[in-house]
Each structure stands twice: as structure tokens, then as C-alpha cells.
């Protein structure tokens, strides 16, 4: 089969493979198994595709082996040996290449979970420069995550079979690398929507990443960094903004599982040279050059919001002096990340775009002093307010802060002294679970930022003195007036409408009384009216309003008027739940 597989087919097939774990394993956990299996299937398909091509060129296995050793990923041969403790004699139990297809052939094995782990270990060991540590946090033989042996083996067998579908054939001759990378991001996005608050550890909504990347404006030749990179979506989007392959990607991530996802994400997008470190950015950064923090042309991030216990106790003695403007409070790490990002941006060149909660704009004390110093240094370029409920982790509205080190003294944009405020809180499409930014919303925001002019109820350009008068508070409503005057109410017209309704209501009461007489009401007491000569089926209920309104042709919504009682038939009684005597 040589026909091409389209994006939708492979996305659907990959998501269907998750059925194996749904309801049994938490989405925040089973995402790792699915994404690792996707990666294994991809490198196995590439290997198999190239092996078949080399076989057609030459049947010499030695030459084929040499060519395969120069592939992006080496898939070694595995030899499972059992050693007799008494005699020392070794017996070869099995021998196979470290590929997905070897595992598929052995999918009914009693130790299939162990075999998958062995294959991943061999692949990691043979590709240490690229994959060291990537599979260390995943265990396909885990009883805790995947259940006891019988259930675990059944699930893993099903998983291997799901990835053997024709739609999951990821050979380069059938599907482009862009499609594979997009499928990986698609799965991460779907996992995020099902993972609740845990999703914040690895995912930023795609349109938010696109907006941040466009605001940062990476150019050919740039070094791009995300110091809180998660699964790498923002780095990949920034790379796409460049327009060619002339860039270098760098990232740091503190969560080991998420770091592994990011590494695989880079490979699936052919960014093999991306340097992504597993470390705590604020306490022990690893992107170091000559014992100093590496510097970057473009810095982007969506760091954890208001991170508690971020390491404030070590900040005053930080060896890189990142917090010289002040130490943020120990329960709010937002300005700690911003301080780090500004310090790693190239002096007089670097540009920074960061997603923050709105509290960053106006909180006082230490945060207020840091904010004031950055404004006085003329670093802040723009503040963009976004809608609430964009993220799977929180429904609060967020903002994007843009800093430009070209504006500092000696920079090419030193003359620019104002700050652009954009209120884009109403630029979204509402959906079932959350709000979404569309292309048209991003276009409007970018056009506003490019024009850098006042737009009524949308944007304002504030000078330094205006911001100073506001005590360096960046809360957007202080600068962008979005107040909408309420529509005036015509009291006379409303009174006329009330009078008309009262007239109709009077007529309704008269007709109601007539209908009650026709129903032969003989007595009432304590709001219970007894009926005579009426035959109803046992336990049969009906709404008497239906009878009245059908006969007198009045709108159904009139039964909401408080003067009209609600009736219900039960056997031979009408239960009047409001003031029946006054009506009768």
C-alpha cells in the first residue's frame, strides 16, 4: 500500500488507541504510554521503510547494516540469554530487532510488558546522545498503573494491535513528518482536555502558543528559549514563525515525564538538535555557557501560575544575580520567572513574551517594586489581556507581557517610551468546555500591536507619566475603557405594557372561573377542591393548565403569572397549590 494517509485519519486512529486505557488509567498517566508507543512506531516505520529501500538497491546485508547505523535512530538487535547458575552455560531464549514489529509478533507473550521495556532500554542505550533518560519514567510492566498480569497483558496486546492498523502506518513514503508531529500535538491537546488541572504541567492551548510566538517575533538566525517548556508546543510554534530552519531551540523543564514528552516532540518535528534540559529553572538552571547563563534572541514561556515554594529562600544569594530588582514572595513565583527570562535575553536585542495571571499586573509589595523597576528601565513594551477560560487548568483570564530589550539605553528602539495596552478579553469563540481563540482574533490583536495606536474600547498607548500616576499598576481597565452604557428604559412604555397585561389577566380569571363551574366543583376547604362525577384512571396525572389554555387559546407562558394557581389532577382531586379560595 503506497497511498498517502491524511491528518484526520491518523489523528482518529491514534486517539482510538486510547480506548484501551480509558476508565482504567488516569489520562494524565496513560498519555505517556500512548505517546511513547507512537514514537516507537514512528521510528520503527522509518527504519523499516529505509531498510526496504536499501534492500532494493543492494542485497548485501553488511552494506545495509552500515547504512542503517547512520540513521537518525539506531534500532539494535536484541539477544535474550538465560544463564545456568550451576554450569554457567548460556542459552539464547530469543533474538529480534528492537522495533515495534518485533513486539507486535510477540504481543501474546506472558511477559509482553517486560519485553516492551527491554526494547525501549536497548533503543535508549544505542541512541544515548539523543534519547538518554527519555524512557526512564515509563514502565509498561507496572502493576500499579496497568493492573495485574492478566489484565495488563490484555491491554498491552490491544495497544499493539491498535497501532498496527493501516492508518497508523507512518513510513515516510506514506506520511510526512509534519503529519506525525501534528498528531503528537493533537494527542497532547486531547489529553489536556481530559486531564483537568494536571494538564497545566504539559500543555498550552495551540492558539495561545501561536499568539505568544508571533508577539515574540523570532527571526532567522535566532536562538530561541522556553525556560518552562512543558511538552515543547511553544518552542515548536516559535520555530514555525521563523520561516526557515535557521534557528536554534533551547528549553528547560522540571517535570521528568513532561521533559521526555518534549524530547520526543522535538524529534517528531525533526528538531533533533534542540537542547532541552531536565532541571529546575529557578533554582538550578542548566542552560549555562562559560559559567554564565546562556543568552537568547527570543524568550517565550507559559510558566506555572503563581507557583508556591519556588525557592525564594535561595534567591537573594542566586549565583547568577537574576533577582537583583527584588525577590518575589515565596508563594508567588510569577515575577521570578519573568526576572529569569529578562536576564537570559540578549542585552539591547532580546525580546520576551510570557503568559501570566492578571495578579502580576497589579499586586503590590515586592512584586510591585520589581514591576516598577522594569518599567523605569523601559523594558515593558505591551500588555495584552486575553479572555478567561482558555486553559484546561483554570478559568481565570490571563495576560501576555511583552518585554523588549531593544528599548533599553543603547538599544535600537531606545526612543520608544510608551506601553501598549490591549483588551482582547472579548475576542474569543465560546465552546462547550472552554473558550477558544480563532485566527481572526489573533489577526486583530497583531494588527493592533503593529499599529500601536489607540482604539476605542480595545487599545490604549500609555506614556511613562500616565503609568507612574497609576502607581505602576498595569491593570488593563485603568487604561482601556470598555464601559458600555446601559440602554435607557422607557418607563411610560413599560407601564403601558403592564396595564395591558393586567387587562388580559382579568379576562383570564373570568374564563377560568367559568371553566371551574363547568367541572362541577361542589366544595372546597384547606385549598383542596373535591370533584363530582369525574372518572380518571388510577394514578393518572395531568396538568389542568393544558386543559384551560387549550380551550381559551392563551399563551402557555401566562401560567408563570403569580395570580394563576398551578393545578394537578390525581385520582378525583385537584390539588391547588396557591390561593384557590380567592379565585373561586
pLDDT 10s digits, 287-332: 999 999 999 999 999 999 999 999 999 999 999 999 999 999 999 9
Structure confidence at residue 83 (pLDDT): 82
- Rounded CA separation 304/229 (Å): 10
- Model confidence over 477-513: pLDDT tens digits? 999 987 666 677 888 888 889 989 998 998 898 888 8
Question: What is the pLDDT at residue 2?
Answer: 53
Specify whether 224 is located in the same domain as 163. Answer: no
Q: Are 318 and 197 in the same domain?
A: yes
> Do residues 470 and 576 both lie within one domain?
no
Under DSSP, the state recorded for 254 is S
Q: At what angle do helices 491-518 and 544-552 cross, to 10 degrees?
A: 110
pLDDT digits (tens, 9 = 90+) for 351-405: 999 999 999 999 999 999 999 999 999 999 999 999 988 887 678 889 999 999 9
Does residue 39 lie in a domain region? yes
357 located within any domain: yes
For residues 50-55, average pLDDT: 86
Q: Are residues 165 and 217 in the same domain?
A: no
Same domain, 300 and 156: no
Region 141-150: what's the mean pLDDT? Answer: 91
- Judge if 370 and 412 occupy the same domain: yes
Q: Show which of 436, 452, 478 is a domain's final residue.
A: 478
Whether residues 94 and 133 share a domain: the answer is yes
Q: What are phi and psi of 163, to 5 degrees?
A: -80, 0
Which range, 82-86, 160-164, 394-398, 560-564, has the best average confidence (pLDDT)?
A: 160-164
Per the structure, the complete domain to which residue 81 belongs is given by 7-175
**Residue 247: predicted pLDDT:** 96
- From residue 82, alpha-carbon distances to 88, 97, 118 in Å are 10, 18, 15
Q: CA-to-CA distance for 366 and 327, rounded, in angstroms?
A: 7
Q: Which of 260, 41, 232 is nearest to 133 (CA)?
A: 260
Q: Are residues 25 and 126 in the same domain?
A: yes
pLDDT for res 485:
66
Total domains, the chain:
3
For residue 234, tell me if it sits in a domain: yes
CA distance 131 to 129: 6
Q: What is the pLDDT of residue 172?
A: 86
Residue 483 lies in a domain: no
Query: What are the cell numbers at 218?
Result: 523570532
Q: Is residue 558 part of a domain?
A: yes
Identify the band that residue 190 occupies on the pLDDT scale cut at 50, 70 and 90: confident
Q: How many CA atoms lie within 13 A of 123 on its CB side?
A: 27
Say which CATH number the domain at 131 has: 1.20.1260.30
309: alpha, beta or left? (left if phi > 0; alpha if psi -120 to 50): left
Q: What is the mean pLDDT of residues 165-178?
A: 85
Residue 69: inside a domain, yes or no?
Answer: yes
The pLDDT tens digits for 328-345 are 999 999 999 999 999 999
Give the CATH number for residue 258: 3.40.50.150
Which of 11-15, 193-197, 281-285, 304-308 shows the lowest per-residue confidence on average (mean pLDDT)? 193-197
Mean pLDDT is lowest, of 26-30, 177-181, 196-200, 372-376, for: 196-200
Using CA atoms, how far apart are residues 574 and 583, in angstroms rounded to an integer? 14
365 CB burial (10 A radius; 0-12, 13-18, 19+) = exposed
573 and 431 share one domain: no
* Residue 566 reports pLDDT greater than 70: no
Sign of the torsion formed by the C-alpha atoms of 152, 155, 161 and 165: negative
Enumerate the H helices of 170-308 as residue ranges.
Answer: 177-195, 206-216, 233-242, 256-268
Crossing angle of helices 112-126 and 149-162, in 10° steps, is: 60
The residue out of 148, 175, 202 marking a domain boundary is 175
Residue 275's DSSP bridge partners are: 250
In the structure, what pLDDT confidence band is assigned to residue 153 with cuts at 50, 70 and 90?
Answer: very high
When pLDDT is cut at 50, 70 and 90, the band that residue 560 belongs to is: very low
- Report the pLDDT value the prediction gives residue 553, as an integer from 0 to 100: 40
In this structure, the answer to whether residues 432 and 291 fall within a common structural domain is: yes
Q: What is the pLDDT of residue 196?
A: 55
Q: Pick the more confident residue, 525 or 491.
A: 491
Cβ-in-10-Å burial (0-12, 13-18, 19+) of 255 comes to middle
Please say if the pLDDT value at position 573 is more than 60.
Answer: no
- Higher pLDDT among residues 115 and 58, named by residue: 115
Nearest Cα residue to 219 out of 246, 190, 251, 250: 246
Q: Is residue 486 domain-resident?
A: no
Which residue from 324, 307, 308, 305 is spatially nearest to 316, judged by alpha carbons?
324
**For the chain, percent of residues with pLDDT exceeding 90:** 54
* pLDDT over 50 (residue 537): no
Q: Which of 154, 175, 196 is the last residue in one of the domains?
A: 175
165 exposed, middle or buried (CB, 10 Å; 0-12, 13-18, 19+)? middle
3-state secondary structure string, 160-174? HHHCCCHHHCCCCCC
The pLDDT of residue 520 is 59
Q: Express each pLDDT in 125-144 by its tens digit.
A: 999 989 999 998 899 999 98
41's grid cell? 512506531
* Mean per-residue pLDDT over the chain, rounded: 84
Residue-wise pLDDT for 450-481, tens only, equals 999 999 889 999 999 999 999 999 999 999 98
Do residues 352 and 407 share a domain? yes
- Please tell me which residue, 64 or 543, carries the higher pLDDT value: 64
* 449 and 539 co-located in one domain: no
Average pLDDT over residues 176-188: 83
- Greater confidence (122 vs 544) lies with 122
3-state secondary structure 350-412: CEEEEEEECHHHHCCHHHHHHHHHHHHCCCEEEEEECCCCCCCCCCCCEEEEEEEHHHCCCCC
What's the confidence (pLDDT) of residue 581?
39
Distance CA 192, CA 378 (A): 37
Residue 103 has pLDDT above 80, yes or no: yes
pLDDT at 54: 86
Amino acid at each position: 500500500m503506497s497511498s498517502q494517509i491524511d491528518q484526520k485519519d491518523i489523528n482518529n486512529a491514534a486517539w482510538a488507541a486510547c480506548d484501551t486505557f480509558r476508565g482504567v488509567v488516569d489520562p494524565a498517566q496513560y498519555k505517556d504510554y500512548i505517546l511513547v508507543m507512537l514514537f516507537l512506531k514512528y521510528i520503527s516505520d522509518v527504519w523499516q521503510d529505509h531498510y526496504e529501500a536499501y534492500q532494493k538497491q543492494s542485497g548485501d546485508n553488511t552494506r545495509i547494516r552500515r547504512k542503517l547505523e547512520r540513521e537518525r535512530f539506531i534500532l539494535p538487535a536484541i539477544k535474550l540469554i538465560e544463564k545456568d547458575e550451576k554450569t554457567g552455560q548460556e542459552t539464547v531464549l530469543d533474538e529480534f530487532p528492537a522495533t515495534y514489529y518485533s513486539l507486535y509478533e510477540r504481543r501474546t507473550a506472558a511477559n509482553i510488558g517486560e519485553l516492551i521495556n527491554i526494547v525501549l532500554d536497548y533503543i535508549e542505550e544505542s541512541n544515548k546522545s539523543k534519547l538518554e533518560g527519555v524512557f526512564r519514567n515509563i514502565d509498561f510492566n507496572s502493576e500499579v498503573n496497568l493492573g495485574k498480569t492478566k489484565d495488563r497483558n490484555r491491554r498491552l496486546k490491544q495497544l499493539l494491535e491498535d497501532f498496527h492498523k493501516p492508518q497508523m502506518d507512518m513510513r515516510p513514503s506514506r506520511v510526512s513528518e509534519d503529519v506525525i508531529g501534528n498528531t503528537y500535538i493533537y494527542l497532547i491537546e486531547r489529553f489536556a482536555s481530559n486531564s483537568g488541572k494536571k494538564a497545566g504541567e504539559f500543555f498550552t492551548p495551540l492558539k495561545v502558543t501561536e499568539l505568544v510566538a508571533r508577539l515574540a517575533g523570532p527571526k532567522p538566525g535566532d536562538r530561541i528559549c522556553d525556560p518552562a517548556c512543558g511538552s515543547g508546543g511553544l518552542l515548536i510554534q516559535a520555530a514555525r514563525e521563523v520561516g526557515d530552519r535557521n534557528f536554534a531551540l533551547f528549553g528547560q523543564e522540571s517535570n521528568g515525564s513532561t521533559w521526555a514528552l518534549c524530547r520526543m516532540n522535538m524529534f517528531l518535528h525533526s528538531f533533533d538538535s534542540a537542547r532541552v534540559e531536565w532541571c529546575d529553572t529557578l533554582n538550578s538552571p542548566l542552560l549555562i555557557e562559560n559559567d554564565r547563563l546562556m543568552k537568547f534572541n527570543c524568550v517565550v514561556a507559559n510558566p506555572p501560575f503563581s507557583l508556591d515554594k519556588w525557592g525564594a529562600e535561595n534567591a537573594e544569594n542566586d549565583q547568577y544575580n537574576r533577582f537583583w530588582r527584588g525577590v518575589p514572595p515565596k508563594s508567588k513565583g510569577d515575577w521570578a520567572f519573568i526576572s529569569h527570562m529578562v536576564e537570559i535575553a540578549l542585552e539591547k536585542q532580546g525580546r520576551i513574551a510570557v503568559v501570566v495571571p492578571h495578579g502580576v499586573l497589579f499586586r503590590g509589595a515586592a512584586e510591585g517594586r520589581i514591576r516598577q523597576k522594569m518599567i523605569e528601565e523601559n523594558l515593558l513594551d505591551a500588555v495584552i489581556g486575553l479572555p478567561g477560560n482558555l486553559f484546561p487548568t483554570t478559568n481565570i483570564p490571563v495576560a501576555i507581557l511583552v518585554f523588549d530589550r531593544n528599548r533599553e539605553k543603547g538599544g535600537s528602539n531606545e526612543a520608544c517610551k510608551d506601553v501598549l495596552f490591549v483588551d482582547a478579553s472579548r475576542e474569543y469563540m465560546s465552546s462547550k468546555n472552554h473558550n477558544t481563540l480563532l485566527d481572526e482574533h489573533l489577526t486583530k490583536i497583531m494588527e493592533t500591536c503593529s499599529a500601536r495606536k489607540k482604539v476605542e474600547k480595545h487599545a490604549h498607548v500609555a506614556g511613562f507619566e500616565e503609568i507612574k500616576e497609576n502607581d505602576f499598576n498595569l491593570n488593563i481597565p485603568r487604561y482601556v475603557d470598555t464601559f458600555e452604557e446601559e440602554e435607557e428604559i422607557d418607563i411610560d412604555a413599560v407601564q403601558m405594557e403592564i396595564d395591558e397585561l393586567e387587562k388580559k389577566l382579568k379576562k383570564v380569571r373570568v374564563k377560568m372561573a367559568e371553566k371551574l363551574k363547568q367541572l362541577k366543583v361542589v366544595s372546597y376547604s384547606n385549598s383542596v377542591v373535591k370533584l363530582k362525577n369525574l372518572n380518571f384512571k388510577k394514578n393518572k396525572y395531568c396538568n389542568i393548565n393544558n386543559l384551560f389554555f387549550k380551550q381559551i387559546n392563551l399563551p402557555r407562558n401566562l401560567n408563570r403569572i403569580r395570580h394563576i394557581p398551578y393545578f394537578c389532577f390525581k385520582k378525583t382531586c385537584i390539588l391547588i397549590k396557591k390561593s384557590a379560595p380567592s379565585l373561586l
